[in-house]
Structures are given as C-alpha cells and as structure tokens.
C-alpha cells in the first residue's frame, strides 16, 4: 500500500496556502499526484434579488460586481497553486502515465462542498483538510472536514494552523485498541515505512478491547517498521492533553489516530479526544474513522 493520489480541497479561506503546502510536501514525499479542488458556492440569485431591494438594472450591476470579485478570488487561489508548483518542482499534468514523479492538477466545482466531496473524495488515497478552528461550527472548513472524514471512507490529514516544516519523520501513533485506531494504523503504513522514529502511545484506561500496543509493534516489525511502545497511566490530565504532550516530548511531526471512537455528536456535545486533538494539536494529524 502506498499513497499515489492526494486531494486538496480549497475554499477561498486563509487555510488554502497551508493545505497546498502540506499537499505538495506529500506529493513529493510519495511521488504522488495532487489534485487541487476549488469548492465554489453557487449564488442564490432569487433570494438575493428579493432581499436586495434593487430594481432589475441595479441588481444586474451588482451581479457583475459579484462575478468579478469571484473571478479575482479564483485567480488569487490559482496563483497560489501555480506558485506552489513552481517552488516544489511539481509538473502540471492529469495523465497517470506521465513520466514525472510528482504531478498536480487544478479543478473547480460549484455547489455544496459536502455533496462534492462525498461524490469525488473516495477516488483518492488521502485527503488533506484545513484546520476547522477558523470560523463557526457551520463554516465551510467544518463542512469540508466532516465530509472528508465521514463520507469518503478515506484517511484525512488535518493540517495545523501554521505550515509544518516536515510531515512524518517522527510519528506518534495514539493507540487506544479501538477499530478506528486500527484503520488509522493501516492508512498510516506509507508514512510509518518512511519514518525515522515511531512511538506507539497507549493511555492505559482499558476502555476498549483490542490488541495490546506490543502486538501492534510486532505487527509493524513484520513490515520492517521499528516502533517503540510507551504506556502512560490515566491521570487528572485529559487523554488528548497526554497525547499532545507526548508528541511534543518526542518531537513528533505527525500524530496518527482513530477518530470518533464514540458518537461524533456525543463528542461534540460532551467533549472527546478527537475534538480536543483537532482543536489543540499544533502539528499534522492523520485520522481514520
């Protein structure tokens, strides 16, 4: 298993540069193809006209202005994309038979981001998503992340709020023995094979049944991956804080974890490990559900 196709959803936000940077790093790292997908919101012309209080001619001029602004925004993001290609030495191509090691393609889709990602996200090996903390709970960044995680059956790499210098040299595998953690382990194998150091961290809450971390380390050994095991007893500190602290101690540049072992609605209402990691982690997080 390897990563040969990476999807980078973009949506006119402050996160686009970070998402493009992370995606380019991964495309180079895995000799992969990167598709930058710009998600554009359709204009609701009927409601805009009814609520504008403008006559037909005034409304036409307003639409021209909006269309011009949208064109400028699209051009700005496209310029970021082309600058990324130039700086990273990635070839613009959508041909799988291309001789280039790393390729990229630009694509624009208009509509609901959840529907678009649900339809096309499953065609890629990995989806890179921007951090959801910018904006409200119902912002487009949250929509994109939710659609990627729950509607595509693909692993998602969540970017931090700042550009990460490296991704996957030192990996912290947060192992809670749950099924999502097992899926994350499989999804992370391309990263684990290339890592300089892998640490399997278990907070010994005994909340779930499943393989012990030593068994996971042995499994990885069969794949020629050397991994350390670290067990931390539960304390007054939240599990998410323990994971983040341990990642900082070992100098990790990637956390691998299963997401939403319990109901995501319950986690968002009452709080949970996944939500806390999403909110507080300052490094990339590879997640699977």
Note the pLDDT of residue 105.
Answer: 97
- Could you tell me if 23 and 154 lie in one domain? yes
Note the pLDDT of residue 133.
Answer: 72
Note the pLDDT of residue 270.
Answer: 43
- Could you tell me if 210 and 259 lie in one domain? yes
- Could you tell me if 143 and 239 lie in one domain? no
Whether residue 62 lies inside any domain: the answer is no
- Please identify which residue in the block is written with the tokens 């290339």: 194
- Could you tell me if 179 and 136 lie in one domain? no
Q: Are 1 and 263 in contact (CB under 8 A)?
A: no
Note the pLDDT of residue 262.
Answer: 61
Rounded to the nearest 5°, which phi and psi values hold at 232?
A: -125, 125
Q: Are 27 and 34 in contact (CB under 8 A)?
A: yes
User: What's the start-to-end Cα distance of the chain, in Å?
Assistant: 18
- Could you tell me if 151 and 33 lie in one domain? yes
Interatomic CA distance for residues 219 and 110, integer angstroms: 44
Q: Are 202 and 233 in contact (CB under 8 A)?
A: no
Nearest to 48 by CA among 63, 31, 33, 28: 63
Whether residue 66 lies inside any domain: the answer is no
- Could you tell me if 135 and 187 lie in one domain? no
- Could you tell me if 136 and 249 lie in one domain? no
User: Could you tell me the pTM of the whole model?
Assistant: 0.90
Note the pLDDT of residue 145.
Answer: 92
Residue 243 CA neighbour count, 13 Å, CB half: 32
- CB count, 10 Å around CB of 219? 13
pLDDT along the chain (289 residues), means of 10: 94 87 97 96 62 72 79 90 93 91 95 94 97 64 92 96 95 96 97 98 87 97 98 91 97 96 54 86 95
- Could you tell me if 143 and 12 lie in one domain? yes
Whether residue 11 lies inside any domain: the answer is yes
Query: Which of 124, 158, 192 is at the close of a domain?
Result: 158
- Could you tell me if 130 and 269 lie in one domain? no
Domain assignment of residue 93, given as a range: 5-43+72-158
CA geometry: angle 214, 219, 220, nearest 5 deg: 95
């Amino acid at each position: 298993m390897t990563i040969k196709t990476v999807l980078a959803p973009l949506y006119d936000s402050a996160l686009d540069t970070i998402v493009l940077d992370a995606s380019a790093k991964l495309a180079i790292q895995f000799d992969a193809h990167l598709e930058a997908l710009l998600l554009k919101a359709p204009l609701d012309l009927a409601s805009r006209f009814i609520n504008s209080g403008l006559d037909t001619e005034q409304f036409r001029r307003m639409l021209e202005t909006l269309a011009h602004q949208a064109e400028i925004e699209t051009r700005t993001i496209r310029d970021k994309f082309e600058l990324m290609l130039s700086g990273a030495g990635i070839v613009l191509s959508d041909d799988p038979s291309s001789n280039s090691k790393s390729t990229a393609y630009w694509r624009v889709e208009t509509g609901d981001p959840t529907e678009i990602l649900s339809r096309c996200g499953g065609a890629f090996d990995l989806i890179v998503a921007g951090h959801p903390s910018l904006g409200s709970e119902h912002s487009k960044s949250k929509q994109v992340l939710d659609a990627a995680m729950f509607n595509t059956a693909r692993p998602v790499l969540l970017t931090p709020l700042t550009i990460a210098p490296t991704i996957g040299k030192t990996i912290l595998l947060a192992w809670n023995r749950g099924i999502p953690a097992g899926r994350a382990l499989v999804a992370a194998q391309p990263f684990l094979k290339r890592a300089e150091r892998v640490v399997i961290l278990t907070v010994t809450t005994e909340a779930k049944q499943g393989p012990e971390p030593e068994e996971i380390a042995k499994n990885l050994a069969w794949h020629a991956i050397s991994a350390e095991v670290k067990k931390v007893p539960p304390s007054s500190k939240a599990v998410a804080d323990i994971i983040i602290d341990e990642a900082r101690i070992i100098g990790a540049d990637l956390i691998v974890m299963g997401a939403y072992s319990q109901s995501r609605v319950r986690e968002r209402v009452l709080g949970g490990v996944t939500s806390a990691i999403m909110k507080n982690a300052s490094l990339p997080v590879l997640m699977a559900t």
